[in-house]
Structures are given as structure tokens and as C-alpha cells.
Amino acid sequence: MEYKHFNHEHNLAIFELQAGNGIHCSGCRTLCSGSAYACWKCNFFLHLECGNANRSMEHPSHELHHLTLVPCPTYSAGSFVCNACGAPGSSFSYCCPLCEFDLHIRCALLPAIISHRAHPHELSLTYGLGPQAKVSSPPDACGICHKLVDNKFWTYSCGPCKFQLHTSCATPEMVPISYQADGVSGNAAAEAGPGFYKEENGSGSSPNGSKPAEVEDPVLETQLELMRLQQELELSNQLAKMMASYNLSSLV
């Protein structure tokens, strides 16, 4: 069974990858094991959840606009800072170019509610104030690693108990999530819980070979056009700087 992904020229097939093989997902840059999409010719691999992630989504952390899945950052630096965890990224991300809002693909797929052995109550995903925010209240310590929690970024928390966990501590290994063209499969919804985010229809072929219906989304088209214009502007600025540098050096 082959699968066509928008970011790779060849068809991908599902393989079982052994743990400890050193293979990294081309989408999220974390290690791959178990079932994964693969193109061995190009050393291109994707977790099933990264390969099946839809091209756009509505996320409660950014209610103003749709988020668009892009295979690489749209910024001239070639990287982005994730609004969820604060870590840099250089591969797949969900972004809003209008607001310069970016999420690692795995951060965007975090479940809204989890149960964890470190706390007797359910923990809710709490959205941070943002990387540029000024935090006045003193930070709490993570209930697992006991390091301070930065309130600029997302945490899992129990409000009544004032208990918090870093998202990376709460979910060291993401549970694989399957997507359907029209939303979430029954098993995935059961695993993810009531807070799982339903996404917009994606493009490309689904793993079972059927092609999702094309959806005309004017908001998504506008975002993509803005991304293209932003890239063209950044390239023009770089070219102008190079030409200015060359002209100055020729005068010396």
C-alpha cells in the first residue's frame, strides 16, 4: 500500500522500523520506530501521525486564523520558535503567517486533556502567554523534573491543586494518532480523549488509497499567498543587501 505525501516526490510505503535504528522522522525530527512511512531511496521517513496530518487546522490556542502545515519555516533564518514549547524548529510546522505564530507539528497535536501517574486528577493543556510576554507571577516547578515552568509556554496543569507539568515531561512519547479525510478515526478519538482537535480536510491521498475531496478555503489560500509574498520580500531584501555590499566594496 503506497501513499503520496505533498512534501515528497516519490510514493511512500509503510514499514515496521526497529527501535534504536537511528532513523529520524523528516517531519518532526524525532526518532522513528514502529509503523512509519518510508522512502528508502531518499532516506525520507515520517511517523504515521506526521504523514497523515492535514494541511490546515483550527487550533484553540490561535482562534483568529487557520493554521497551515508547511514543510519548512517561512522565515529567512530557516527556523522558527515554537509558541507552544519555546524550542526552535526547522522542519514541519503549523503556522499562521499573518501573526507569525508557529507550532511544532507534535505540539499542535497535543491532546487537550490527559491522565498522568504523577497526579490523581486529569490535567488540562494550558496555553502560555507567548514568547514575547512579560510574566510577573513567580514560576512554579514541574511536578516531574522539578525545574521551573515558564508561563510563556504551554503546560499541563490541574488548577485546583496548582500542579503543573512541562508538556515534554507529561508526554515524552506521543501516542500515534490516525487521521481520516473527514476528521478523526474512532480509535484515535478514544485514545486522544474529549479534547482532541478536529482538523480541516487535507490534500493528497489517504493511506487507504482514496483521495480526499478538494476543499476551497479562501482563508488558507490567503495565508499561502501571504507566505509566498513574504518569501519573495525576504529574498528581495537579501539581494538588495548583497548588491549594496558589493557596491560599497567596489568603492574601496
User: What pLDDT does 36 receive?
Assistant: 93
Residues 6+ apart with CB under 8 A from 62: 83, 96, 99, 101
Using 50, 70 and 90 to split pLDDT, how confident is the model at 140? confident
Q: Please, how many CA atoms are within 13 Å of residue 21, restricted to the half-sphere of its CB? A: 14
Using 50, 70 and 90 to split pLDDT, how confident is the model at 221? low
Q: What are 18-46's pLDDT values in tens digits? A: 888 889 999 999 899 899 999 999 999 99
146-172 mean pLDDT: 89
DSSP state of 34: E
Using 50, 70 and 90 to split pLDDT, how confident is the model at 75? confident
User: What pLDDT does 228 receive?
Assistant: 61
* pTM, entire model: 0.65
User: What pLDDT does 180 receive?
Assistant: 27
Domains, the chain, in order of start with CATH, read 2-51 (no CATH), 112-170 (3.30.60)
Question: Residue 101 region, left (φ>0) first, then alpha (ψ -120 to 50), else beta?
Answer: beta
Closest C-alpha among 155, 148, 156, 153 to residue 121: 156
